Amino acid sequence: MTVQGKGKARHLPGSVRRTEMLHALEKKLLWLSSWMIHHANHIRPNRDGLKVGGHQASCASCISILTALYFDILKSADRVAVKPHAGPVFHAINYLLGRQQREKLETLRQFGGIQPYPSRVKDGSEVDFSTGSVGLGVALASFGSLVQDYVHLHRMAPEGIPPGRHVAVVGDAELDEGNIYEALLEGWKHDIRNVWWVVDYNRQSLDSVVPDRLFGRIEGLFRDMGWNVVTLKYGRKLEAAFARPDGDQLRRWIDDCPNSLYAALTFQGGAAWRAAILADLGRVAGIRAIIDPLSDDELSALMNNLGGHDIETLTEAFRAQDAAGDQPTCFIAYTIKGMGLPFAGHKDNHAGLMTREQMEGFRAAMRIRPGHEWDEFEGLDVPEEELRDFLASIDFAKPLSPQGRALQSPAIHVPDRFPTPRVPAGRKHSTQAAFGEILAEIGRGQGENAELAKRIVTTSPDVTVSTNLGPWVNRRGIFDRHKKNDVFRDAKLASAQRWGMSPEGQHVELGIAEQNLFLLLAGLGLADRLYGARLLPVGTVYDPFVNRGLDALIYACYQDARFLLVSTPSGLTLAPEGGQHQSVNTPLIGMAQDRLVAYEPAHADELAILMRHAFHHMQKPDGSAVWLRLSTRGLEQPERNLDPAAVIAGAYWAVPPAPGASFALAYQGALAPEALAAFDTIREDIPEAGLLAITSPDKLHTDWLAARRKARAGFGAPSWIETLLAPLAPGAALVTLLDGHPAAHAWLGSVRGQKVVPLGVDRFGQAGDIPDLYREYGLDEAAILDACAQALVS
């Protein structure tokens, strides 16, 4: 190939020239990411005096890894989780690929601008997986591959979208997060394929240098989980030095060098390296022959030539693994935090920023003229034209679909009504049992439910049977990449569960790790946008253990994943299970969590309405995930015709108050019988009283806040709760009931200035039966009547 370099025609083999271009791109990414952060901190006006921040050292650490991946290895169907603090590098890559605007680069960390950490929702669809809370993006890359397998094995993938590899670029400190190991174990169980985790092994976290012996352990863990481990410790220059006479002693010296000393010497530079090496190996002739001819800068460059900074070492290793098959692989790429920047290796560099002076020195070294800081090809040795052609030719530059990386999948038809399970007169029924029955009925896949049934995927962390998913699973089977028979069934041993597994199955069984549940729901709930196949995920978990996976739940919502979460049983209705199983705070989480609408029905007819709504709402562009908090407490089921809109809006009058009524009782969920009993007594004294059934304090509160905001802007209608409470007298009293924290209802008094006595649970629960616990926590009929008296008198 003939190319123009520095004005001279040069003849180079294609691979060498390719490497030169990758080097040029590395340089550009290092400059752009550093400048983007510098610009945000030092160039853009600062109005509040707060440090803007950014992570120049974290970016520098993984420049070569990201260059090798994006510009040489990745294909457009691959999906990537980039470590959070390398966000600016990621945006610089997209800028060079013409997928990010130049003006946007100036908005890092600004309102409406580029987010500090890649965000699907806020930065756009070039981001495959949001990252930020360390460890979660890494694990989601694995669960994403499982979801992609699911989509392809169910033949739901759109034509022309091949399966891709899932790649996570991982900060080494992310491997301290426990959820990583939960995900590894679960991934092993599901035999995940085609996943790479590339660890940016700079041996530094936020506070410090990580212990030396750690990685030996971690490597072993990966291998135990069926992963291949490829360690990229040294680059080519160092390998060449090791190959020289006595070079093995240099290798041993570096291998034995503690992480913190290595980091300190890196920061100090060539003279310090020389002194340290000569102190130990100064009498070894071969070592002198290697280092004596080198200048300090050259020696520093040699000692910094780690595998994770050597583009050829990286691309070679990635290619070899690509050719080797689909075994999950962890690359441990040795790097230096801040490589190429003045604070390289310094243990305090995590949030370090180059000073203006340092930036000027860096600018000179990068040959960037003032006013040309954002130019794509400024200061590079490779001619612009050639780099442009190269960028246009790489695999990753090919559009994944005409719409780009965000795929689409049409909405699935949801029948207008889900049937309410029939309960013989005099029998009681719980919302949890009804949930199982409704889902099992859909699972028959008949008539209007045919397509809906195909798209539902259920999952549960070892509580499938105890959350009543069993009948659905019996109908639809368990998903596994490999067919596995149900041994009990084959042996004709009686069991209510049929646990045969196959690629056609529609339930993904997880071990007890709630973070994994929410990460899988995140992956399933993004399947329409990531894999072009709309799935309708349903995850079940015991309500108290939502807390156990909460960060992953928030993470799923942050990415706008769409799913139905069913948490059951909940609250004191887990009476015999004791305090750790009796959830208290979950209604408040439901209220506070964005992009998740939380409901708690009391009766099966409400549940049928809400399940139907959930499948519809999770598919709407402006919809969200949905959460149903259910119970195993059997209640008598009223014969009635409910208004679905009111149930969905969050509340309805079970007994409407007379206009001007001075009192109303409100209840939520399984406390309905206590509310009804107390209400009958109250009506003897206050016949005009009303009984309010609350299905969602979250929905009521959200709509009320929105209406208040609109009212301030001078327009808008009253919210649903304002409308509902309007018939009551202005000073009316309201007693509210909930098997959860009473703050979920306490705000109702602010809606129209009425008095509220909120009843609920604000202490740890304990073992007991329902009568004892309701008495202890002030939720039985007597306590309700006391509260009513207080509300009316005070």
Q: Whose structure tokens read 């001279």?
A: 8
Q: Which among 202-210, 259-267, 373-381, 460-468 is the span making contact with ligand TPP, rule CB under 6 A?
A: 202-210
Interaction of residue 58 with ligand TPP, rule CB under 6 A: yes
Distance CA 461, CA 203 (A): 34
As measured in angstroms, the least distance from the Cβ of 132 to ligand TPP is 6
Q: Which among 53-61, 95-103, 640-648, 785-793 is the span making contact with ligand TPP, rule CB under 6 A?
A: 53-61
Which one, 85 or 165, has the nearer CB to Mg ion?
A: 85
Q: Of these partners, ligand TPP, Mg ion, none, which one is at the site of residue 58 (CB under 5 to 8 Å by kind)?
A: ligand TPP
As measured in angstroms, the least distance from the Cβ of 138 to Mg ion is 13
* Structural tokens at position 88: 């600016």
The 10 Å Cβ neighbour count of residue 707 is 19
Interaction of residue 349 with ligand TPP, rule CB under 6 A: no
* Options 33, 56, 61, 593; binder of ligand TPP; rule CB under 6 A: 61
DSSP characters over 269-316: -HHHHHHHHHHHHTT-HHHHHHHTTS-HHHHHHHHT-BGGG-HHHHHH
* Options 100, 130, 204, 695; binder of ligand TPP; rule CB under 6 A: 204
Contact 664, 734 (CB under 8 A): yes
Q: Which among 69-77, 80-88, 252-260, 718-726 is the span making contact with ligand TPP, rule CB under 6 A?
A: 80-88
* Options 17, 85, 603, 617; binder of ligand TPP; rule CB under 6 A: 85
Interaction of residue 592 with ligand TPP, rule CB under 6 A: no
Is residue 613 within a helix (H) or strand (E), and if so which, with residue range? helix 604-617
**Structure-derived torsion over alpha carbons of residues 251, 241, 340, 4, reported in degrees to the nearest 10:** -150
Q: Of these partners, Mg ion, ligand TPP, none, which one is at the site of residue 380 (CB under 5 to 8 Å by kind)?
A: none
Q: Which among 30-38, 77-85, 639-647, 737-745 is the span making contact with ligand TPP, rule CB under 6 A?
A: 77-85
* Options 20, 106, 174, 437; binder of ligand TPP; rule CB under 6 A: 174
Contact 337, 60 (CB under 8 A): yes
Q: Of these partners, ligand TPP, Mg ion, none, which one is at the site of residue 206 (CB under 5 to 8 Å by kind)?
A: ligand TPP
* Structural tokens at position 691: 């009984």
Which one, 350 or 581, has the nearer CB to ligand TPP?
A: 350
* Options 205, 259, 559, 632; binder of ligand TPP; rule CB under 6 A: 205
As measured in angstroms, the least distance from the Cβ of 304 to ligand TPP is 16
Going by their DSSP bridges, the two strands 690-694 and 625-629 should be labelled as unpaired
* Options 25, 63, 66, 173; binder of ligand TPP; rule CB under 6 A: 173
As measured in angstroms, the least distance from the Cβ of 254 to ligand TPP is 20
Distance CA 725, CA 736 (A): 13
Which one, 123 or 606, has the nearer CB to ligand TPP?
A: 123
Task: Sketch the per residue contact string, 350 through 379, with ligand TPP: x for CB under 6 A, - otherwise.
Answer: x-----------------------------
Contact 302, 200 (CB under 8 A): no
Q: Which of 564, 718, 679 is nearest to 629 (CA)?
A: 564
Distance CA 304, CA 63 (A): 14
Q: Of these partners, ligand TPP, Mg ion, none, which one is at the site of residue 134 (CB under 5 to 8 Å by kind)?
A: ligand TPP
Interaction of residue 133 with ligand TPP, rule CB under 6 A: yes
Q: Which among 79-87, 426-434, 655-663, 689-697 is the span making contact with ligand TPP, rule CB under 6 A?
A: 79-87
Interaction of residue 742 with ligand TPP, rule CB under 6 A: no
| Residue 645 CB partners (closer than 8 Å, separation 6+) | none
Interaction of residue 182 with ligand TPP, rule CB under 6 A: no
DSSP characters over 539-605: EEE-GGGGGGGHHHHHHHHHTT---EEEE-S-GGGGGGG-GGGS-SSHHHHHHH-TTEEEE--SSHH
Contact 106, 120 (CB under 8 A): no
Distance CA 594, CA 121 (A): 13
Distance CA 619, CA 533 (A): 12
Which one, 116 or 742, has the nearer CB to ligand TPP?
A: 116
Q: Where are the beta strands (DSSP E) in 386-510?
A: 428-429, 456-461, 478-479, 501-502, 507-510
Q: Which among 54-62, 634-642, 684-692, 728-736 is the span making contact with ligand TPP, rule CB under 6 A?
A: 54-62
Calculate helix-pair angle for 514-524, 178-189, nearest 10 degrees: 70
Q: Of these partners, ligand TPP, Mg ion, none, which one is at the site of residue 133 (CB under 5 to 8 Å by kind)?
A: ligand TPP
Distance CA 291, CA 563 (A): 60
Contacting positions for Mg ion (CB under 5 A): 171-173, 202, 204
Interaction of residue 754 with ligand TPP, rule CB under 6 A: no
The 10 Å Cβ neighbour count of residue 698 is 23
User: CA 175 → CA 130, 135, 183, 380, 626, distances in Å?
Assistant: 18, 7, 11, 36, 31
By three-state DSSP, how is residue 458 classified? strand
Q: Of these partners, ligand TPP, Mg ion, none, which one is at the site of residue 781 (CB under 5 to 8 Å by kind)?
A: none
As measured in angstroms, the least distance from the Cβ of 217 to ligand TPP is 16
Interaction of residue 206 with ligand TPP, rule CB under 6 A: yes
As measured in angstroms, the least distance from the Cβ of 411 to ligand TPP is 34
Q: Which among 81-89, 324-332, 442-450, 572-580 is the span making contact with ligand TPP, rule CB under 6 A?
A: 81-89
As measured in angstroms, the least distance from the Cβ of 548 to ligand TPP is 15
Q: Of these partners, ligand TPP, Mg ion, none, which one is at the site of residue 174 (CB under 5 to 8 Å by kind)?
A: ligand TPP
Residue 428 phi/psi, 5° resolution?
A: -105, 160
As measured in angstroms, the least distance from the Cβ of 105 to ligand TPP is 21
Which one, 333 or 553, has the nearer CB to Mg ion?
A: 333
As measured in angstroms, the least distance from the Cβ of 337 to ligand TPP is 5
Q: Of these partners, ligand TPP, Mg ion, none, which one is at the site of residue 358 (CB under 5 to 8 Å by kind)?
A: none
Contact 250, 287 (CB under 8 A): yes
Q: Which of 602, 610, 664 is nearest to 638 (CA)?
A: 602
Interaction of residue 134 with ligand TPP, rule CB under 6 A: yes
Distance CA 65, CA 201 (A): 11
Determine the length of the chain: 794
* Options 26, 78, 128, 172; binder of ligand TPP; rule CB under 6 A: 172
Distance CA 744, CA 660 (A): 25
Interaction of residue 480 with ligand TPP, rule CB under 6 A: no
Which one, 20 or 200, has the nearer CB to Mg ion?
A: 200
Interaction of residue 310 with ligand TPP, rule CB under 6 A: no
Find the binding residues for ligand TPP in span 648-667 (CB under 6 A): none
Interaction of residue 64 with ligand TPP, rule CB under 6 A: no
Sign of CA dihedral 441, 447, 449, 454: positive
Q: Which among 46-54, 166-174, 301-309, 609-617 is the span making contact with ligand TPP, rule CB under 6 A?
A: 166-174
List % helix, strand, coil for the chain (3-state, nearest 5): 50, 15, 40
Residues near ligand TPP (CB under 6 A), total: 19
Which one, 53 or 404, has the nearer CB to ligand TPP?
A: 53
Residue at shortest CB range from ligand TPP = 171
Q: Of these partners, ligand TPP, Mg ion, none, which one is at the site of residue 85 (CB under 5 to 8 Å by kind)?
A: ligand TPP
Q: Which of 361, 377, 379 is nearest to 369 (CA)?
A: 379
Distance CA 115, CA 317 (A): 32
Contact 380, 24 (CB under 8 A): yes
Which one, 202 or 458, has the nearer CB to ligand TPP?
A: 202
> Which parts of this chain interact with ligand TPP (CB under 6 A)?
55, 58, 61, 83-85, 133-134, 171-174, 200, 202, 204-206, 337, 350
